[in-house]
Structure 1
Amino acid sequence: MMIVRAIGALAAAMTLAHPAVAAGPRVMSLDSCADQYVLALAPRETIVGLSHRAGAPDSYMRKASLGLPRRRATTESLVAAGPQVVVRHWGGDARLVKALDRRGVRTVRIEDAADFEAVRVNVRRVAEALDQKAAGEAMIARMDGQLRAGAGAWKGETALYLTPGGYTAGSGTLIDAMLRASGLSNASNGPFFSPVPLESVVMAPPRALVLGFFDLARAGADRWGVGHHAALRRVTRDRTIAALPGAVVGCPAWFAADGVAQLAQARALR
């Protein structure tokens, strides 16, 4: 009887030490965008490291990052953390990726996205690597629901996107996809990101402005950008239809649909 009890106790101890069903692979993220995916998809107990920007004001999942370890994107830090999967957007370099490969650590890359289909690909790629396919599909379903709800709200009205540094976003950007998803026509005719001449905005103001990152412009170089010029401030005060926070527009991720929802809501309030 004592032997049976001892065997039972040993089995229980082994079960506690090595759960029969693992929550998922140990995971670490190397940059702010990767932090968002890891925090949203990985079980908390599997996260062995986040970037030092996980709690920054432009981190969408910053509240969820509280209490989790921060690590640098170095080989030494990775060895200490012991991840099985590393998620990155721009963090790390080629040498670090090769070092991870040599150690058998899987690296998952979040690609830039010019449309919401590319966001779906990113979500599914990370979710699969973290054994969280169902969570990934649920995330996509929520995003698609927001896109359906906001579709066509502005009925083709034209708007110019503007950052504090004086840049706009044209075709081939997720910002452009967000504008179009809400029914706005992008006033920028060029591709990608490009500077906007201050004079053109002040002398011939667009009918509507969509601001991005202005919530983060109180510090850093942007506080000296054209976005804070007195003449432009008058234009933005009168013609801004929505100000999208940096946490929504700073990463090719599912929460770009939050921006579409915000744009649609702005139309409903006019």
Structure 2
Amino acid sequence: MSLDMHLKAAACLWACTSAASPADSPSRIVSADLCADAYVFALADRDAVAAVSWQAGQTVSAAPDWALDLPRANGEAERLLALEPDLVVFGPSGAGDAARFLGRAGIEHVSLQWGEDWSGVIVNLRAMGEALGEAERAEVLVLTLEDRRTALARRAEQRNRQPSVFYLSVTGGAAGAGTLVDEAIRMAGGRNAAADAGASGWLAADAEWAFRVDPDLIVTSYFIDGYATRNNTGAQHSAFRRLLANRPRIDVPAAVWSCAGPALMDAAEQIAEALDQLEQGA
């Protein structure tokens, strides 16, 4: 029997067995993506989570301890059907080919909207709250996060100036305007040095950035807790090493902003704390 026929048979079986027991809220939620994990962990009851993404437990994941023993999921239809979910949550890349098999089985699925700004996080929180049957919990979280964002703005107003911040990843990449890093820097009350230099989007490794910017603070990430990589230009290139040696620096944990999720606020607050210390030191 072909894989496609196996999937059709599994979809039919699951549709038949699950149709008799509808529920107001999903009780077997499967997260198929690292970005989806962040929203599921923030909003779902742990007893309702049946599986988490294959990246849970890696250094780029903020999975809580209770999630580490759960089965792992990915975007493959056969794996998802085997987990017998009543809701599958995908990241911004969507369900892909799995959508038709999930639909055939009567399994609901929802995907995050793509976005790297704070408004996108709020939109996704509310949408996920509706999908998970946790709209009230999502709204409470939104209000809490917005209060924290207001507090960041007040802290920024109390500083004498708006410091320049440069982001450097272990690969030597930087982040210009329109990235989640840029959003966190601006939420913290800083100026993105790369954006000020005219850059937008995610930037490939280029040691010339060490000479183009004169930041007050350097934010590094993935230096000690990121993806395994042989490309460590950001850590090893002499120009970047000199820049790092001569500027205040903080390292934001990779799990905080592997995707634009609620934890982006944590990154902004960490940057704001460093900017406050710069102000006090000045």
TM-score band (shorter)? 0.7 to 0.9
Structure 2 SS opposite 1:216: coil
CA contact (8 A) 1:146 1:260 kept: no
- Higher mean C-alpha displacement, 62-71 vs 47-56: 62-71
Instruction: Confirm or deny that 1:225 pairs with 2:227.
Output: no
- Structure 2 residue corresponding to 1:123, chosen from 122, 125, 138: 125
CA contact (8 A) 1:85 1:106 kept: yes
**1:217–1:115 Cα change, 3 Å:** closer
- Structure 2 residue corresponding to 1:209, chosen from 196, 212, 218: 218
Question: How far 1:118 sits from its partner (Å)?
Answer: 0.9
CA distance in 2, matches of 1:261, 1:190: 24
**1:203–1:24 Cα change, 3 Å:** closer
Structure 2 counterpart of 1:61, one-letter code: A
**1:91–1:259 Cα change, 3 Å:** same
Structure 2 SS opposite 1:242: strand
Structure 1 SS opposite 2:246: helix
Structure 1 SS opposite 2:72: coil
Match of 1:9 in 2: none
Question: How far 1:220 sits from its partner (Å)?
Answer: 2.2
CA distance in 1, matches of 2:164, 2:213: 14
CA contact (8 A) 1:25 1:131 kept: no
TM-score w.r.t. the length of structure 2 is 0.80
Structure 1 SS opposite 2:219: strand
Structure 1 segments of 4+ aligned residues over 4 angstroms from their partners: 90-93, 202-205
Structure with larger Rg: 1
Question: How far 1:82 sits from its partner (Å)?
Answer: 1.4
CA distance in 2, matches of 1:267, 1:79: 48
Structure 1 counterpart of 2:118, one-letter code: F
When the two chains are superposed, the root-mean-square deviation of aligned CA atoms in Å is 2.6
CA contact (8 A) 1:89 1:109 kept: yes
Match of 2:47 in 1: 45
- Work out the percentage of aligned pairs sharing the same amino acid: 30
CA contact (8 A) 2:27 2:48 kept: yes
Structure 2 SS opposite 1:49: strand
Match of 2:16 in 1: none
Deviations 1:63-111 (A, max 9, x none): 2412222234322222221111111115675211222122222221112
Structure 2 SS opposite 1:209: strand
Flag structure 1 segments of 5+ consecutive residues without an equivalent.
1-18
**1:229–1:218 Cα change, 3 Å:** farther
Match of 1:180 in 2: 186
**1:218–1:75 Cα change, 3 Å:** closer
Question: How far 1:212 sits from its partner (Å)?
Answer: 2.3
- Structure 1 residue corresponding to 2:27, chosen from 4, 25, 28: 25
Instruction: Confirm or deny that 1:134 pairs with 2:136.
Output: yes
TM-score w.r.t. the length of structure 1 is 0.83
- Structure 2 residue corresponding to 1:34, chosen from 33, 36, 45: 36
Match of 1:261 in 2: 269
Question: How far 1:202 sits from its partner (Å)?
Answer: 4.8
**1:132–1:148 Cα change, 3 Å:** same
Question: How far 1:176 sits from its partner (Å)?
Answer: 1.1
Deviations 1:242-261 (A, max 9, x none): 22111111111011000111
- Higher mean C-alpha displacement, 94-103 vs 59-68: 59-68
- Structure 1 residue corresponding to 2:166, chosen from 160, 172, 181: 160
CA distance in 2, matches of 1:37, 1:22: 19
Match of 1:11 in 2: none
CA distance in 2, matches of 1:196, 1:58: 20
Structure 1 SS opposite 2:110: strand
Match of 2:245 in 1: 237
